Structure 1
Amino acid sequence: MASSKEQYRLEQEAFVSNHGGTTPQEVIFTLLPNVCGILLTTTTLGVLRKYTHKNVKVVIEFVLIVIPTILCCTILSEHIGTVCIVMISISALNIMLLGSKGTYLSNSDMRPVTGKRPFVTNFRALTNIITAICILAVDFRVFPRKFAKTEVFGYSLMDTGVGLFILANALVAPEARDFCIYRQAGFQETLMKNIKNCFRGCVPLLVLGFGRFMAVEYTGYQKHVTEYGIHWNFFLTLAVVKLFTSMITSTISSKYSLFSGAWILGMHEYIMSTKGLKTWVLRDGPRIDFFSANREGLVSVPGYVGLYFIGVAVGRLIHSTYQNSHTKLNMNISVKLYGLEFEASYNESMLLCIKLSLISAQACIATLLCDSYSKVSRRLANAGYCMWILTLTTTLLTLLLLVEVVLDITNYAASESCNENKTKKLSKNLRLNLKKNFESDRKENEECVVKRSLEICDAVNYNGLFFFLLSNIVTGLVNTSIYTLYAKQLVAVVILIIYMAISIFSTLILYRLQIPVKL
């Protein structure tokens, strides 16, 4: 036991420092239960759709998505494969139950869904959830040290947090949906509009950033200096990245986002390698002024700006793929081989799934090349790190989209099976001419399909920054209330579950009341 709070603070800072991370394969493997949880939850709710109240459904979502993620980051970190197999097996059983009364389907029967993309919603929500879990779990001994942030180079679960946040925001940015060939306004008007919008978005982030710094200094809370620096933090990085991207998009069209991002990352890597910035950031030098005190946060900004523009390019690919889905339901391909003709049908989701998997493979190759040349470093946000985050993001998006394709087929099977019952009841209602029964049949028909977006995911996306801020506040309260380093495994897991329940259900209440918290 520490003899004083100061000694305990030093012990805790040492506990989260000087780690080398793990392999990139293990990081991806650790995130797989999130994808399996989405599939398991949606299919389970589909099976139980007629027997569960909306509050019970939310509890099921929490139990099947959040709790497995907590367990796989802590006491089940060495048994993730088993957890995934169990989840997939139960999901397969659910799908069999949903399709047992349905008709035979081919992939040409699938119908694209317009509006928001559920797999993007799920990705953004899971990014928030896994980050919220890790920022508190890292203070307990039950959290494996291989998942903690790396000190210099390497891969780890917690290293992915800020990068995934940047890409998650870029995927749904206005630039990702802007397909206008010509600017609708002049340069000066566009610049002023972007600055005005940027000011609205940056001021709350700057306030949160300075507020966090003041709170840490006032309470003597432990801090990992080599994460961002002495004064810098996550909120300030988001604010500055938002400022630079708004200025750049005023001069360069969003259709050049990929080239802009690649050029910025290339110049960032070149300057760090030739001007001595890499050595300056990574050495254990004195932090005597603002720039040296916050060298990690300042030097990493160009890398995150480049990553943001690459994320915009991925977002444009996603949105453009579905742009004409209301008129082009499915596509056919015919191949002749050795006198035999093969025909296959595919829709936009399948096509996008192939595109994202190809991008993931290309980003993986780029990551390996960068790693062999200059290594992957979160502190620098170098090209290797950005390519690693792009690989991870596109891999998760591909898997989540694959889940969506499976649910498309399941949805159609479930709707077909209950359409027969609806037709019989509808003819009966016509004879009885009961308007009330018409309404009940309409509601029943709406419930015949498996919902692909989960309420917890929608709620977290609705007030994402509030959810993350609340998680930070509760994390601080837990760390100032108990000595997390000395907590037993079971106690730590229970605390993490209660902590996530508070954060998620508080956000869910605001979502149901439709109260947006604009931070």
Structure 2
Amino acid sequence: MEPIPNPSSAHPITEERPGEAPIFDWDWTETLAQSWETLLLILSTFWCILLARVVTQKLQLHDSPNLCYAVEFGLVILPCILLITVAVDYSNYIGFVMFSGTLWFLRKNRVLERARTRGQFDLGGNRHMALSVLRALTHLITAINILAIDFGSYYRPYRKSLQFGAKLMDTGIGLFVFTMAMVSRRTHNWSDLRRIAVYSVLPLILLGLARSATVLVLGYGQDIHEYGQHLNAFFTLVFTKFFGALLNILARKDLHLLPLGFGILLIHQFGLSFLGVSDYVMNDDVDRTNFFNANREGLVSLPGFVGLYGLSIYVNRWMVASSLLSYSELVRKLRRLLLVVLLLWSLFVISAYGIGISRMTCNLGYVIWMLAIGSTSLWASFGAIDFVINSVMPWESSPSDEQEKGLVTRGTVAKGGDKSIVSFTISQALNQNGLTFFVVANVLNGAVNKFLRPEDRSNCESVIILLVYMFLGTRMAYELLKRGIRLA
């Protein structure tokens, strides 16, 4: 475990000049190193989810969702906790083992040959399992980190950046917006907007109020530099969802989301860079005597999140535009998505050098970073699940008692002999009640901080507490899934 870095290297440099606003700077090479650590942790957790999918079918856990849950918990949750705490020094070695294991799996099972023999690949629309896994991945990593950060065993360089940076915890709200767009329907008219207001925006408002009440009752501190004095992540999602829906109405066609999204981002960045908005947000000398000043971080960042939401909607619509694809069509689509991924990472490097990466203002660089991570995960998810695993270990979608109860969804039942296997159990549970899971995680987080004093716990104790915390949260979501209950 590395010691806590020197503040001068962990945060942007702030220079004061007499009579002038502070000038904020950043170390772009450090930003690139931070982004690599972040991407490695995300892909490692994703790899563990895929490993759990393979193992549960190899072990033939037919009609045993409880065993599937137990196996997934051990193969996904435990490694993620270890990789952000006591095993962080071995991340690169573990990444190498995962990469080598993937190459071995591809070679041993002759994946290309098997994929070519398949007639069609079913991408299955907005709720495709690859999108569900990506969304669940965001929930898991965020939930683990919001509690783990309070322990001494937590890897300090993963903490949120003060102004500029590309650390693991900077990804939370951005990936939530990206994955929210991935599973959202396009808004075409005012009737759709009313539906979104009732079924999507209202629950988020209630969750935001519940979060604020929890913070107030439990006395759990909240950093005002994240969203401001009164706002929180749920309110950011509320505004993003609502204004993102308006953006969708303005876009007559899916393609129109590109110029609209980039236009909003360019105007937003112009204001940040040339009109002094970035300095206004980041300057601690600006008082918080009125509502806007008090919540400037959350309010000023909204155009960036709305632009990210619109562009993410377009990526999703493009990816699942055709549900049934031939082998050559899927290969062509994955190849084009890979080119987009490479382009986004190139733009990320340029942004890190030129304008910095700022979660606080959700600037253009941050949006490009979120699109790069999201598109990389999307490419890996569709490629690994549809192209690789489903070719080597095919399953057949068919109605079953479990599906009727909501235990599994379309495209998630694998046939093993005459019995069915439940795959991606935890991912399905978090997709059905993701926001409920996140609220429970926040409540448990506050309780642990109030009664267990995490800063005084040893490495071993911290891992045990995190395991119990994640067990309670995921088990709750899993029990709701078994009973077909969907709250939010």
SS in structure 1 opposite 2:393?
Answer: helix
One-letter code of the match for 1:475?
N
Q: Partner of 2:20 in structure 1?
A: none
Q: Partner of 2:149 in structure 1?
A: 138
1:166-206 CA distances to partner (integer Å, 9 max, x unpaired)?
0001112111xx8xxxx7xxxxxx22541353244222222
Distance in 1 (CA, whole Å) between partners of 2:436 and 2:79 is: 23
Q: Indicate conservation of the 8 Å contact 2:247/2:310, yes or no.
A: no
SS in structure 2 opposite 1:250?
Answer: helix
Q: Partner of 1:409 in structure 2?
A: 391
Distance in 1 (CA, whole Å) between partners of 2:335 and 2:136 is: 23
For the pair 1:158 / 2:169, whether they are aligned, the reply is yes
**CA pair 444-79 structure 1, distance change in 2 beyond 3 A:** closer
Q: Partner of 2:117 in structure 1?
A: 109
Length-normalised TM-score, structure 1 = 0.78
Q: Partner of 1:229 in structure 2?
A: 228
1:129-155 CA distances to partner (integer Å, 9 max, x unpaired)?
001001101111111110000001111
Distance in 2 (CA, whole Å) between partners of 1:494 and 1:112 is: 42
SS in structure 2 opposite 1:78?
Answer: helix
One-letter code of the match for 1:81?
N
Of 398-407 and 49-58, more deviation after overlay is shown by 49-58
**How far is the alpha carbon of 1:113 from its aligned partner?**
2.8
Distance in 2 (CA, whole Å) between partners of 1:317 and 1:103 is: 25
Q: Partner of 1:277 in structure 2?
A: 277
Distance in 2 (CA, whole Å) between partners of 1:455 and 1:291 is: 43
**CA pair 385-47 structure 1, distance change in 2 beyond 3 A:** same
Q: Partner of 1:210 in structure 2?
A: 209
SS in structure 2 opposite 1:152?
Answer: coil
**CA pair 366-87 structure 1, distance change in 2 beyond 3 A:** closer
**Greater C-alpha Rg:** 1
Of 125-134 and 25-34, more deviation after overlay is shown by 25-34
**How far is the alpha carbon of 1:511 from its aligned partner?**
0.5
Q: Which of residues 327, 337, 345 is equivalent to 1:364?
A: 345
**CA pair 118-218 structure 1, distance change in 2 beyond 3 A:** closer
**CA pair 248-106 structure 1, distance change in 2 beyond 3 A:** closer
Distance in 2 (CA, whole Å) between partners of 1:86 and 1:272 is: 42
**CA pair 314-103 structure 1, distance change in 2 beyond 3 A:** closer
Q: Indicate conservation of the 8 Å contact 2:35/2:167, yes or no.
A: yes
SS in structure 2 opposite 1:79?
Answer: helix
**How far is the alpha carbon of 1:258 from its aligned partner?**
1.5
**CA pair 444-366 structure 1, distance change in 2 beyond 3 A:** closer
**CA pair 480-104 structure 1, distance change in 2 beyond 3 A:** closer
Q: Indicate conservation of the 8 Å contact 1:208/1:235, yes or no.
A: yes
**How far is the alpha carbon of 1:469 from its aligned partner?**
1.0
Q: Partner of 1:290 in structure 2?
A: 291
Q: Indicate conservation of the 8 Å contact 1:108/1:347, yes or no.
A: no
Distance in 2 (CA, whole Å) between partners of 1:317 and 1:247 is: 20
Distance in 1 (CA, whole Å) between partners of 2:210 and 2:112 is: 58
Q: How does 1:261-410 map to 2 (within 5 A)?
A: 261-285=261-285, 286-320=287-321, 322-323=322-323, 325=324, 329-330=326-327, 346-348=328-330, 350-404=331-385, 405-410=387-392
Aligned length: 438
Distance in 1 (CA, whole Å) between partners of 2:114 and 2:415 is: 27
For the pair 1:148 / 2:159, whether they are aligned, the reply is yes
**How far is the alpha carbon of 1:53 from its aligned partner?**
3.1
**CA pair 306-108 structure 1, distance change in 2 beyond 3 A:** same
Q: Partner of 1:485 in structure 2?
A: 455
Distance in 2 (CA, whole Å) between partners of 1:162 and 1:142 is: 24
Q: How does 1:48-63 map to 2 (within 5 A)?
A: 48-49=59-60, 53-63=64-74
**CA pair 482-90 structure 1, distance change in 2 beyond 3 A:** same
Q: Which of residues 475, 499, 516 is equivalent to 2:469?
A: 499
For the pair 1:45 / 2:56, whether they are aligned, the reply is yes
**How far is the alpha carbon of 1:382 from its aligned partner?**
0.2
SS in structure 2 opposite 1:239?
Answer: helix
Length-normalised TM-score, structure 2 = 0.83
One-letter code of the match for 2:262?
A
**How far is the alpha carbon of 1:278 from its aligned partner?**
0.8
Q: Indicate conservation of the 8 Å contact 1:40/1:91, yes or no.
A: no
Q: Partner of 2:425 in structure 1?
A: 455
Q: Partner of 1:438 in structure 2?
A: none
Q: Indicate conservation of the 8 Å contact 1:153/1:376, yes or no.
A: yes
One-letter code of the match for 1:217?
L
**CA pair 270-363 structure 1, distance change in 2 beyond 3 A:** same
Q: Partner of 1:129 in structure 2?
A: 140
Mark the runs of 5 or more structure 2 residues left unpaired by the alignment. Answer: 1-6, 13-30, 397-413
One-letter code of the match for 1:410?
V
One-letter code of the match for 1:363?
L
Q: Indicate conservation of the 8 Å contact 1:36/1:88, yes or no.
A: no
Distance in 1 (CA, whole Å) between partners of 2:305 and 2:371 is: 12
1:478-504 CA distances to partner (integer Å, 9 max, x unpaired)?
111121111111100111111111100
Q: Indicate conservation of the 8 Å contact 2:163/2:359, yes or no.
A: yes
Cα RMSD (Å) of the superposition?
A: 2.7
**How far is the alpha carbon of 1:56 from its aligned partner?**
1.3
Q: Which of residues 451, 465, 488 is equivalent to 2:435?
A: 465
For the pair 1:512 / 2:482, whether they are aligned, the reply is yes
Distance in 2 (CA, whole Å) between partners of 1:54 and 1:445 is: 17
**CA pair 443-284 structure 1, distance change in 2 beyond 3 A:** closer
Q: Indicate conservation of the 8 Å contact 2:348/2:369, yes or no.
A: yes
1:198-246 CA distances to partner (integer Å, 9 max, x unpaired)?
2442222222223322332343321112111111100110111112122
**CA pair 376-103 structure 1, distance change in 2 beyond 3 A:** closer
SS in structure 2 opposite 1:363?
Answer: helix
Distance in 1 (CA, whole Å) between partners of 2:429 and 2:375 is: 23
**How far is the alpha carbon of 1:114 from its aligned partner?**
5.0
Distance in 2 (CA, whole Å) between partners of 1:504 and 1:264 is: 37
Of 52-61 and 222-231, more deviation after overlay is shown by 52-61
**CA pair 444-401 structure 1, distance change in 2 beyond 3 A:** closer
Q: Partner of 1:10 in structure 2?
A: none
**How far is the alpha carbon of 1:355 from its aligned partner?**
2.1
Q: How does 1:64-103 map to 2 (within 5 A)?
A: 64-87=75-98
Q: Partner of 1:339 in structure 2?
A: none
Distance in 1 (CA, whole Å) between partners of 2:436 and 2:190 is: 28
- State, as a whole percentage, how many aligned pairs show the same letter: 29
Q: Indicate conservation of the 8 Å contact 1:152/1:378, yes or no.
A: yes
1:299-328 CA distances to partner (integer Å, 9 max, x unpaired)?
0011000000010011011111x33x1xx5
**How far is the alpha carbon of 1:106 from its aligned partner?**
4.1
Distance in 1 (CA, whole Å) between partners of 2:242 and 2:424 is: 32
